[in-house]
Amino acid sequence: MALRRAITKRLIDGYKCVRLPNTKILRHYITSSNLTDPIMGIHIQSVGLPRREEATSVKGLSVSETKKLLRMYQMEKVKARLREIPKNSVSYWEFVQICCETCGNNDEQGSQMAQSLDYAGSVVVLGDIVFLHPHQIAKSIAAMIDQTSAVSNDPRKEELAQLETTKKRIDIKARRIVQAELYCGLGFLAAQTIGLMRLTFWELSWDVMEPICFFVTSLHFLLGYYFFLRTSTEPSFEGFYQQRFKTKQKKLMESHGFDFLRYTELKSLFTPLACKSEVSTI
C-alpha cells in the first residue's frame, strides 16, 4: 500500500508540467488499478520526467542565452556608431557616453560595454584617449618593427639615399620654374596696370575706361573660378604656387625616370611618418 502511494505521488509530480485532458481520471486509474497489471505496468514504465533537452526546445532560449544575444546586438550597434565617427580617436568620456546611449542610458551597462570592446580589441584605450581604428595602430607598429629590425648595412638604404638625392634636385628645379612663372605673372600684372593708367589719364577718359576695367576685373575672377573648378584648390597665390609646383614636379619626375612608387615604398619602410607627409604633398 505504501509503495502504491509513493509511485502515485511520483507520477503526479512528473505530470505537473504535462497538460492532460483530465488529471483526476488518471489519478483514479492509478490508485484503483493493480500495479501488476501488464497494461498499467506499461503505462508506469513509459511515464517519466521530461528531458532537459525537450524542455529547452519547447521553452526556447534560456535567460543567459537571451542576455548573450542582447549583448551581442548592443556591441554591434556600438561598433556601427563608432564607424560613423570621422575622427581616428575620441576621449574616453565620449566613448563611454556613446556606449551608454546605445545601452539605453544605463551607466553601468555602458561602462561594461566599453570594457568589453577594449578587451575584444575593437578599440584601443590608452589613458584618456580611445583609438577607433586599431588596424592603423597595428600597421604603424609593424612599420616601426620593420624599421628597427632593418640591418644597418641594408642595400635598400643606399637606394633610398640615391632616390632622395634625385628628388631633391627635381624639387629645386621645379621650384625655380614655378618662381619664374610667378615673376612673369607679376610683370604681366604690372604692365597691365601701367597700360590701364596710360589709357585712363592720357589717351582716353575714365568714362571710356570704367567699363573696360570692370570687364578686365571680371575676367580675372572667371580665371580664378576656373582654376578652382579644375584643381579643387583655393584660388590664392599660395594655392596657385602649390598646384604649379606639383605639376612641374610630376613632369620632371617623368622626364628623369624617377620611380616614385619605389621611393614611397622605401620611405615607408625606413621613415613611415615622413613618407605619409610626402605622399600627401604629391
Domain co-membership, 255 together with 159: yes
Domain count within the chain: 2
Domain's final residue, options 92, 120, 152: 152
Residue 255 near residue 165, CB atoms below 8 Å: no
What pLDDT is attached to residue 232?
Answer: 87
Q: Of 14 and 208, which is predicted with more confidence?
A: 208
What pLDDT is attached to residue 20?
Answer: 43
Average pLDDT, rounded, for the chain: 75
Range(s) of the domain holding residue 172: 155-270
The predicted-structure confidence for 166-199, as pLDDT tens digits, reads as follows 999 999 999 999 999 999 999 999 999 999 999 9
pTM: 0.45
CA distances from 11 to 43, 57, 190 (A): 10, 23, 111
What pLDDT is attached to residue 133?
Answer: 78
What pLDDT is attached to residue 29?
Answer: 45
What pLDDT is attached to residue 188?
Answer: 93
Average pLDDT over residues 20-34: 46
Domain co-membership, 264 together with 163: yes
Q: Is residue 181 part of a domain?
A: yes
What pLDDT is attached to residue 160?
Answer: 87
| Helix orientation angle between 134-149 and 260-270, rounded to the nearest 10 degrees | 90
Pairing of strands 89-91, 129-131: antiparallel
Q: For the chain, give the percent of residues with pLDDT over 90.
A: 22
Q: For the chain, give the percent of residues with pLDDT over 70.
A: 70
The predicted-structure confidence for 39-89, as pLDDT tens digits, reads as follows 444 444 444 444 544 444 435 678 887 877 877 887 788 888 878 888 888
Instruction: Return the beta strands (E) in the chain as ranges.
Output: 89-91, 124-126, 129-131
User: What cell does 174 get?
Assistant: 621645379
What pLDDT is attached to residue 279?
Answer: 47
Average pLDDT over residues 100-110: 77
Q: Of 4 and 77, which is predicted with more confidence?
A: 77
Query: How far, in Å, CA of 170 to CA of 258, rounded?
Result: 9
DSSP reduced 3-state for 1: coil
Choice among 82-91, 159-168, 268-277 with the minimum mean pLDDT: 268-277
Closest to 279 measured CA to CA, from 246, 235, 231, 232 = 246
Domain co-membership, 263 together with 166: yes
Domain's final residue, options 135, 152, 169: 152
Query: How far, in Å, CA of 83 to CA of 141, rounded?
Result: 22
Domain co-membership, 117 together with 203: no
For position 102, which CATH number holds? 1.10.10
Domain co-membership, 145 together with 223: no
Average pLDDT over residues 134-152: 67
Query: How far, in Å, CA of 79 to CA of 130, rounded?
Result: 13
Domain co-membership, 73 together with 148: yes
Q: Of 191 and 101, which is predicted with more confidence?
A: 191
